[in-house]
Structure 1
Amino acid sequence: MAYQQQQHYQSQQPMPTMGMQREWSHGLCGCFEACGTFCYACWCPCIVHGKNKQRLNHLNNNGTPDPDGGSCCSGACWGHCILTAFAGLGCILQCMNRGEVRGRYGIEGGGCGDCCASWCCAACDLTQVSREIELEEKSFGQRY
């Protein structure tokens, strides 16, 4: 019974209730459970950030998942690429996106934790954010 409840929990995005906050659905170090996304985030973090940002924006603006699954060459991707290549500061954009995801899903935490996660473990941060967005997308009955 507990296994079935856990499976159900991991397949749907828990939405926030008024005044209540929750933890992330997957831990920061749970990035290895999504090995493909994690590898992408290690070698091409700008692409994963761009996809995460576009998927989140589509959910915010349209209330449905992005049918393209997030374009890899969006403005957010290029912004991350330029900030990372010239100043090593792509984590700033990741920190802001992480805050948006926390706000949308009522996840506890704050700006300091977002900055630390984005700065100290950028690939794990990108993977965790992607997985959180993916839970909502899956709740629409589509596979991403």
Structure 2
Amino acid sequence: MAPMQLIPGGNRNALNKSMGKDGQREWSFGLCSACGDCGTCCMAWWCPCIVYGKNRQRLDYLQTRGVPRPDGGETFNSHCMLDCLLGCVGIGWVLNIGTRSDVRARYRIRGSVCGDCCVAYWCVPCDLVQEHRELELEERSFGVGSRV
């Protein structure tokens, strides 16, 4: 029997979504299920740069350390500032494409870069909340809840 290989991170499919033959699954929450997390939904509509920055920080921390960020992510960080600056000229959504693709890759979620681009462009708040909730599921599998 081969030794079990450790994969850093928590449960990347906490809701036990079925995996397809391609080894991928659907998102844990639908794109329009933002109301399932009212606080994050409101923040994503009024201050998307904050939610983007925290999502990016949380994802990067999980990717590099294999555990959730203890403080849930800083409210104002370099990712947030960059998103805010690009948002002022109407292209903040471009950053969301990369983060959405990275979240999909981490959790083996079905989709494409073209789809990521469309979601990021047409509905930034829904995109941000969906990513937030996916990250939160893994963080909770460690016994840690995230904060907005």
Normalized against structure 1, the TM-score is what? 0.87
Instruction: State the AA in 2 paired with 1:142.
Output: V
The aligned residue for residue 4 of structure 1 is none
Cα distance per residue 1:90-143 (max 9 Å; x no partner): 111011100000000000000111011111111010000000000000000112
Distance 1:73 1:22, change over 3 A: same
The aligned residue for residue 6 of structure 1 is none
Instruction: State the AA in 1 paired with 2:118.
Output: C
CA contact (8 A) 1:14 1:105 kept: no
Distance 1:30 1:104, change over 3 A: same
Q: Does 1:83 align with 2:66?
A: no
Q: Indicate the SS of the match to 1:28.
A: coil
Query: Distance between the aligned counterparts of 2:20 and 2:45, measured in 1?
Result: 34
Query: Distance between the aligned counterparts of 1:126 and 1:92, measured in 2?
Result: 13
The aligned residue for residue 125 of structure 2 is 123
The answer to which structure has the higher helix fraction is 1
- Stretches of structure 1 lacking an aligned partner (at least 5 in a row): 1-8
The aligned residue for residue 94 of structure 1 is 96
Query: Distance between the aligned counterparts of 1:134 and 1:13, measured in 2?
Result: 12
Query: Distance between the aligned counterparts of 1:103 and 1:14, measured in 2?
Result: 17
- Stretches of structure 2 lacking an aligned partner (at least 5 in a row): 1-10
The aligned residue for residue 5 of structure 1 is none
Distance 1:80 1:45, change over 3 A: same
CA contact (8 A) 1:51 1:72 kept: yes
Distance 1:62 1:18, change over 3 A: farther
Q: Indicate the SS of the match to 1:72.
A: coil
What's the RMSD between the two structures over aligned residues?
2.1
| Count of matched residue pairs | 134
Q: Indicate the SS of the match to 1:29.
A: coil
CA contact (8 A) 1:102 1:109 kept: yes
